[in-house]
């Protein structure tokens, strides 16, 4: 932690702490006791540039990055819930190219991502406010390919801690914010995270979430910070992105959603929007 943070331009550093991707379950408010929330979906992005260490876009070979995931949270007590984030399959494909970071032949990799398990504790609930603390442990199931850099995760037993506060007095809208910290191992640098989400009920079945999220690297760790490579689970990554999620609840148990995430600024990260779609299943004691 005593090492100097890597060089991002000052404008990025100044706004990354005011952050509004797709927020993980660990970053959100708790589910109710005896409830189970399941979220499963697909995401994909295709890009030909990444943000380098100075936050400037650099040309890369053409890359497709996509995946299938299942996230779940179960309320086991009025103060406790357990959660799982499971990127079951990450598919990466890069076209052959002579650009920096390019390879001689087109290559694809399909492997699991970094699966995580966690525990939440909710210590404040009333008609207007709720808050929770989450502790998440990575199972290091991701894969790192040193030859192609088509990584599917960090493959690191990192630990994350999140604190979330939600305001929900109105039935028509709510707002929540979180802060988090990732303690990484091996040669990876630690990270600070923050974000905000605004949820608006457009119709009794239609919800729209707008969010902004960011990651700020706290260390200049050892993965050749002068190389931007392909921006897939790269060490010393940083980002500021904004996104949306539109959910249509077919009934009180099942909903469908579509989502989008647009990178605003970053380093060692692909520089194109990511789109997603999937299902939400909500089981509760009622």
Please report the pLDDT score of residue 146 as a whole number: 83
Instruction: Taking residues 200-223, report their average pLDDT.
Output: 86
What CATH number does residue 107 fall under? 2.40.160.40
Look at residue 55 in the predicted model and tell me its pLDDT: 82
- Looking at residue 29, its pLDDT comes to 64
Report the pLDDT value the prediction gives residue 92, as an integer from 0 to 100.
Answer: 96
Answer whether residue 209 is part of any domain.
Answer: yes
pLDDT in tens, 59-84: 888 999 999 999 999 999 888 999 99
> Averaged over 174-187, what is the pLDDT?
92
Q: Give pLDDT, residue 226.
A: 46
Spatial contact of 164 and 131, defined as CB atoms under 8 Å apart: yes
Domain count, the chain: 1
Residue 2 maps to a domain: no
pLDDT of amino acid 227: 57
When pLDDT is averaged across residues 233-259 and rounded to a whole number, the result is 94
pLDDT band at 213 (very low <50, low <70, confident <90, very high): very high
* Inside any domain, residue 1: no
What is the average per-residue pLDDT within 130-134? 91
Which DSSP string do the residues of 245-282 spell out, in sequence order? EEEEESSSSEEEEEEEEEEEEEESEE-S-EEEEEEEEE
Whether the CB-CB separation of 232 and 65 falls below 8 Å is answered with yes
What confidence score (pLDDT) does residue 12 get?
Answer: 37
**For residue 3, is it within any domain?**
no
* Mean pLDDT, rounded, for 251-280: 94
In whole angstroms, how far apart are CA 79 and each of 30, 75, 122, 132?
9, 8, 5, 9
Q: Is residue 39 part of a domain?
A: yes
Asked if residue 16 has pLDDT above 60, the reply is no
5 domain-assigned: no
Domain that holds residue 218: 10-283
Residue range 19-30, pLDDT digits in tens: 333 445 555 666
Q: Residue 199 domain-assigned? A: yes
Is 228 exposed, middle or buried (CB count within 10 Å of its CB: 0-12, 13-18, 19+)? buried
Q: Please give the pLDDT value at position 203.
A: 87
Alpha-carbon distance of 55 to 24, in angstroms, equals: 24
Q: What is the mean pLDDT of residues 241-258?
A: 96
Per-residue confidence (pLDDT) for residue 123, from 0 to 100: 77
In a domain, 69, yes or no: yes
């Amino acid at each position: 932690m005593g090492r100097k943070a890597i060089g991002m331009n000052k404008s990025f550093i100044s706004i990354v702490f005011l952050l509004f991707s797709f927020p993980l379950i660990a970053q959100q408010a708790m589910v109710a006791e005896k409830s189970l929330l399941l979220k499963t979906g697909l995401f994909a992005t295709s890009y030909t540039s990444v943000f380098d260490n100075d936050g400037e876009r650099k040309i890369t070979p053409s890359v497709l990055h996509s995946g299938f995931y299942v996230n779940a949270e179960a309320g086991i007590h009025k103060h406790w819930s357990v959660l799982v984030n499971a990127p079951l399959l990450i598919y990466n494909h890069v076209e052959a190219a002579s650009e920096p970071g390019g390879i001689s032949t087109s290559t694809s990799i399909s492997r699991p991502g970094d699966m995580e398990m966690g525990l939440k504790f909710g210590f404040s609930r009333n008609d207007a406010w709720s808050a929770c603390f989450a502790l998440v442990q990575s199972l290091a199931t991701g894969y790192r390919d040193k030859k192609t850099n088509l990584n599917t995760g960090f493959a690191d037993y990192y630990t994350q801690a999140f604190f979330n506060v939600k305001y929900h007095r109105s039935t028509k809208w709510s707002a929540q914010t979180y802060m988090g910290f990732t303690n990484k191992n091996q040669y990876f640098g630690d990270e600070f995270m923050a974000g905000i989400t605004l949820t608006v009920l457009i119709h009794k079945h239609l919800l729209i979430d707008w969010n902004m999220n960011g990651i700020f690297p706290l260390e200049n760790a050892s993965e050749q910070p002068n190389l931007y490579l392909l921006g897939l689970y790269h060490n010393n990554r940083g980002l500021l992105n904004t996104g949306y999620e539109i959910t249509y609840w077919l009934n009180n148990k099942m909903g469908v959603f579509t989502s989008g995430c647009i990178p605003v600024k970053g380093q060692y990260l692909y520089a194109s929007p990511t789109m997603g779609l999937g299902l939400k299943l909500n089981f509760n004691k009622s």
